[in-house]
Chain A
Amino acid sequence: MSNQYQIAVLGGGPGGYVAAIRAGQLGFKTVLIDKDNLGGICLNWGCIPTKSLLKNAEIYDNIKNHSADFGIKVQGLDFDFTRIIKRSRDIAERMAKNVEILVKKNKVDRIRGFGKFISSNELEILDNNGNKINSISADKIIIATGARPKVLPSIPVDKKFIITSSEAMVLHEVPKEMIIIGAGAIGIEFAYFYSVLGSKVTIVEMMDTILPIEDKEVSETLAKSFKKRGIEIFTKTSVEKAIVNGNKVLVTINSNGKRKELSADKVLNAIGVTGNVEGFGLEELGVELFKNHIKVNKSTYETNIKGIYAIGDVIGPPWLAHVASQEGIHCVEKIKGITVQDIDYTSIPGCTFCQPQVASVGLTEDKAKESGYEIKVGKFPFMASGKAFAIGEREGFIKIIFDAKYGEILGVHIIGSEATEMIAEAGLAKSLEATGESIIKTVHAHPTLAEAFMEAAAQAYGEAIHI
């Protein structure tokens, strides 16, 4: 293995491994360096393991709370938490192995180790103990080192009582009480998961609503549903401090000047992530950063240093696996000189896999108004959908925000069962510049939840049939 490459990719998450595979496909001599299993956070400690955990919760939730509605009798319902966790870990492991194979298949060299810049086109590879085991040079280096949970001094993570998402997905038992700080997608998913399995969950969020980046109406609907489950929610509330005291964590919260003390077995810090930009030579090279992320040209993904590129979580929001992958592909294709349309950052779907699920693409109603659009809003509640009734999933709605002037789809917001699957249609419609009329006139199969998308569009134009 000669250690001279055309492209080296540092970090094997969904950003890095996808970039490396694409580079391999395009005929570049490519190397992929990661200190851990391939797949990054997403496959090992993020998207995939959490989604498998959530499926357990969903099944349990349905049996426990809805079996009677369906005429199913259940006795002695119980779960094996160890099996639940193991299932999730097994899946993550299998996926990571598959990625190794995929990478090899695309003629990408794989080096396991910690990569560190020694110049703008050279990396040295260190083992776990910091000993140099290898070094490579490459014409272009793509940084895809991802991000890690943000930690505040006031909430000192000890990984035992005050934990992050990684620990939360491998606990040994279901905590009796859990406080979740931060109501973004990660916090919300764990809230659902542990609440279903019996924890008394409390969510503390600084912003006005849970899932603060989602449409207000969606967030409020979800909050209502969560409260019904017995999840306690504090919004517009900050955490002043969290202290471990024996087997408990005491959390002081402050809501508008009013202090309150909460206690729990576990506190999950889910306040957000910060880029992995330290300790591998970026400072020395003078790679430009902003707010703990690498600054890049969002068309070429090149940093301020020629030949060094960055993609994925390490370049900042929206911190999503599908964005990381897409950026990886774009970056490599641009290096190859292929003309590609820039990623449309206004058409990126975001999903939260609790129940009811939340999914959206584009602007919220408030954001659309703030941006100066005159809007037309169409909404269709699943309560009016026959399919939703049939499957006992009548919660939620689809809401579409149109630009009143040209009929452009500005945003689509779904809360309800299968929302995360249905958003794909909205994404396609938005990125292909469909209008309300095109949605209305697209025949949707009956009976499906997706019909609600058509009806919501129709409702905006006063043509809805079922409401």
Chain B
Amino acid sequence: MEIVMPKMGESVSEGTILKWHKKIGEAVKRDEIIFEISTDKVDTEIPSPVEGILSEIRFNEGDTVDVGTVVAIIDSNGEIKKDSSEQKPEVVHQPAVEENKIEESSKHEDKTQSILSNEKIESTRPSANISDSIDLQMPKMGESVMEGTIIKWYKKVGEQVKKDETIFEISTDKVDTEVPSPADGILSEILVAEQETVEVGTVVAKLTTAAKTTQISEPKPEVKKVQQKETKAEKTKKELPSSMHENFSSVKATSLEEEEVGNSSLNKNKSTSKFLSPLVLNIARKENVSFEEIEKIKGTGLEGRVTKKDILNYIEQRNNTKSESGETNIRETQQQIFDETKQEVLSSPSVTPSKVQAVYSSSEVERIPMDIVRQKIMQHMVNSRDTSVHVSAMLEVDMTRIYNFLKANRDEIQRKQGIKLTYMPFVSHACIKALKEFPLVNATIDGTTIVKKKFINLGIAVAMEPNGLIVPNIKNADEKNIVGLARSINELAEKARTKRLTPDDITNGTFTITNYGVFGTIFGTPIINQPEVAILGVGTVVKKPVVVEIEGTDTIAIKPTMALTLSHDHRLVDGMLGGRFLKSIKDTLESFSINEM
């Protein structure tokens, strides 16, 4: 094996032999120091790349020779060491840009790589006269690209290939490209079939080169053939630059936009106006966080910058959301249910969780990722607020008749019918009557069309422990009497609590009643359950002193009173309609008679 003067750095072209540590005829072990050199940059000791006998020394101590010159021969007893891993193509960081340089270095066939000083130097000079096999790998097409798909093999096994001739074509999520051969040879093996996707770095084929050694560089995708792919996903996601430089230039591009309006090629490459640290960019790239997402992250750094911590928190939140939805549990069904209820007016209700504004240390606050149900509720609420023009009208209902009725009959009804009557079925009943009277309140808005529904599916908001809310509805509620409604309400509530609601139970509601009175609340201003146009809030029944006129004289009487709130969507339901609707319910409740049962 020939031992050459190693190259100690780009600018070093020669070296001086300071000292021979071994004599001719002496045995040397692998990694044992054979000689010491000095170059204009560094002094170092050169270890033997192989085990053997030092059979020849060609230069004396003090001689200065060019890099690459053979200075000694080690007879490795015919034992040819497989040449080390350094032969493997290195991972090249900037794809394609510095092609010339790489080609040039691959021309340095016997360029010996060396590592400095105290560290051992391994000669990477492949031994001659053996045909060599080169592994062709899935090339890395950018920092964030982790895998690629083989689109097409241009060569068959056994076929001759020339250096730089295209061997195969690949597709990644960023680009499609053709991969040229790094050397002349014969395609000896194809390991990955067309349409298969493999990780970057995976060996996809083997090339047998002729009886010549070649310093292999990574198959370089040809720049010209690289086509930027604009997938749909990317259009919305806005691709992150694959290097910091790109980013800087694109950031500049956006700031330029203001001055150079109409420079469409720049404008297309949207980015962010925020300063993002190289680390944040790297993380974003690796974790596929789009600029749009980053824009929404509240930065806690200097000048509101998004820091590493911020983006990692965001990713964690995002992952939690994902992993939870992956779990098969009751929640999932519920999520599904929610999804189905959505009948979303808005196409992309991606409400990003708002970040706590202030910077708190972890000792001051506990950060809990929202579960999926919470996130859905959040989305729903924000969506509703953003959709409907909420106005609330309130009135008080004198519940004396029903109060008295219940007092007198509750126990008996429970005994006979097995149902514990509350105020809710009465309110529901009155509400249904009002809905029939004012069908516009039982409608939906579709663009500029009013969709009046000929059926009444009455939604009942059910609170769920420890914290949650769901709205199943009573199908064709108008066909039921008060006891029937009571049954349905109990049934749905029970199903909700035991998590047995079916998607059918919670879809297609037409109007919702929410009974916050059970918590003792007197007044509320409920949020409309989309896509409905109104919601009735029911307060608790409290005894109140009220002024009544008995035989022409005002007196104070004690009355069980209930406040009702109608939140209605002013886009469709105006004050008059809302007021009349409420008044209708009030009248029904106040004039209750046992005949209605």
Contacts and interface: CB of A to CB of B under 8 A. Distances in A.
Interface size band for A: 20 to 34
B363 A435 contact: no
A408 interface: yes
Interface in B24-50: 41-43
A433 B279 contact: yes
Contact of A467 (B9, B280, B282, B361): B9
Contacts of A381: 42, 116-117
Contacts of B11: 466
Contacts of B244: 435, 437-438, 441
A334 to B, nearest CB: 11
A438 B283 CA distance: 14
A255 B400 CA distance: 93
A223 to B, nearest CB: 16
B10 A342 contact: no
Interface residues of B, number: 33
A341 interface: yes
Contacts of B361: 297-299, 342
A462 B359 contact: no
A434 B280 CA distance: 9
A434 B277 contact: yes
A381 B115 CA distance: 11
A341 B302 contact: yes
Nearest to B361: A299
Contact of A341 (B91, B277, B283, B301): B301
B115 A467 contact: yes
Contacts of B93: 437, 461, 463
A383 B42 contact: yes
A434 B279 CA distance: 6
A408 B9 contact: no
A384 B359 contact: no
B279 A407 contact: yes
A281 interface: no
B278 A438 contact: yes
Nearest to A407: B282
Interface in A416-467: 432-435, 437-438, 441, 461-463, 465-467
B245 interface: yes
B363 A297 contact: yes
A466 B243 contact: no
Contacts of A434: 277-279
Given A407-B282, A438-B244, A339 B358 contact: yes
Given A339-B359, A408-B308, A462 B9 contact: no
A299 B361 CA distance: 7
A290 interface: no
B322 to A, nearest CB: 19
B63 to A, nearest CB: 22
A386 interface: yes
A405 interface: yes
Interface in A374-391: 381, 383-384, 386, 389
Interface string B268-291: 000000000111101100100000
B10 A435 contact: no
A70 interface: no
Contact of B10 (A299, A383, A461, A466): A466
B320 interface: no
B359 A342 contact: yes
B202 interface: no
A433 B116 contact: no
B300 to A, nearest CB: 7
A433 B280 contact: yes
Interface string B344-361: 000000000000001101
Contacts of A466: 9-11, 41
Interface string B214-226: 0000000000000
A441 B97 CA distance: 15
B133 interface: no
B90 interface: yes
Contacts of B321: none
A463 B102 CA distance: 12
Given A381-B116, A408-B308, A433-B307, A465 B9 contact: yes
Given A383-B42, A433-B279, A441-B244, 7 more contacts: A341-B359, A381-B42, A406-B282, A407-B282, A435-B278, A437-B93, A438-B278
Interface of A: 297-299, 339, 341-342, 381, 383-384, 386, 389, 405-409, 432-435, 437-438, 441, 461-463, 465-467
7 contacts: A297-B363, A383-B117, A384-B42, A384-B117, A389-B41, A408-B279, A409-B279
